[in-house]
């Protein structure tokens, strides 16, 4: 009977189970994630190589003129080294980890989840998946508030394949805004990338000018109607609040329209 139980456990029948309970279902980039992992032994003894926690998301990549959804591991944390899990045993493992500063925000269709897994040799690895609600950090909220003051409306948030811009990740999160007041008629859209850097925040702005006249139409057709601007906001700038940051953004954008 033991042999057949081991065979069944190797394909997931009567095997160990894992479940994670998050104490922090809502987090910010650079914040802390904490919770507890519950492990329950199956019908037979199993050797667990390790327990790990992964933070994952999806991003869009173009392949052969098609947009495909791929999965990226943003961070991975080791909870335990190897141990033997006895039949029916119940274990708990508390955890608390610092999250990366470049954790994507879960706005619109962007999603982030925590995947907890047990590495078990010669068996189907049991896993558990929990959604994570990621909200903007204080500095990001200051910039988003400034963009709102300038009359821009958030149209879309996407994770797009861009390994040259993503640093240690294969993608960037792009915030796409459309002008509704001051810059309406001058810009088609404003795209913003956030690069948190500890106490400061770097922005990459893609300013897409609206075509005006024959020269503007040619510029749009040739792709020269866009400007890329890097803007570094230090702690002293961000501490002044959204209205002060809005003034700086307005000056930068106005120079490129």
Q: What confidence tens digit (pLDDT) does each residue in 27-58 have?
A: 999 999 999 999 888 777 778 888 889 999 99
The contacts of residue 129 (CB under 8 Å, 6+ apart) are 113, 114, 115, 116
C-alpha–C-alpha distance, residues 47 and 87, integer Å: 11
CA 66 and chain centroid, separation: 22
Indicate if 152 and 96 belong to the same structural domain: no
> Are residues 44 and 94 both part of a single domain?
yes
Please give the residue range of the domain that contains residue 176: 138-255
Say if residue 72 is in the same domain as residue 159: no
108 touches 155 (CB < 8 A): no
Say if CB 54 and CB 117 are below 8 A apart. Answer: yes
Percentage with pLDDT > 90 across the chain: 57
pTM metric for this prediction? 0.83
Claim to verify: residue 117 and residue 180 sit in the same structural domain? no
Same domain, 25 and 78: yes
């Amino acid at each position: 009977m033991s042999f057949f139980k081991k065979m069944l456990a190797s394909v997931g029948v009567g095997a160990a189970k894992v479940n994670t309970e998050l104490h922090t279902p809502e987090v910010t980039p650079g914040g802390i994630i904490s919770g507890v992992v519950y492990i329950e032994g199956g019908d037979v003894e199993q050797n667990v190589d390790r327990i790990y926690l992964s933070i994952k998301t999806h991003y869009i990549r173009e392949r052969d003129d098609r947009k495909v959804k791929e999965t990226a591991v943003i961070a991975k944390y080791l909870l335990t080294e190897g141990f033997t899990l006895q039949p029916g045993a119940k274990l708990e493992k508390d955890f608390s980890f610092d999250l990366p500063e470049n954790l994507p925000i879960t706005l619109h269709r962007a999603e982030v989840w925590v995947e907890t897994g047990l590495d078990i040799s010669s068996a189907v690895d049991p896993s558990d998946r929990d959604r994570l609600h990621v909200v903007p950090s204080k500095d990001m909220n200051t910039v988003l508030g400034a963009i709102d003051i300038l009359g821009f409306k958030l149209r879309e948030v996407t994770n797009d394949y861009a390994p040259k811009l993503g640093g240690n990740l294969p993608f960037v999160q792009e915030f796409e805004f459309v002008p509704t007041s001051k810059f309406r008629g001058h810009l088609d859209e404003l795209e913003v990338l956030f690069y948190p850097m500890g106490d400061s925040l770097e922005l990459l702005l893609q300013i897409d000018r609206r075509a005006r006249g024959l020269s503007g139409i040619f510029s749009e057709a040739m792709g020269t109607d866009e400007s890329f601007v890097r803007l570094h906001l230090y702690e002293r700038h961000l501490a002044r609040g959204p209205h002060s940051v809005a003034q700086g953004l307005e000056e930068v954008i106005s120079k490129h329209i």
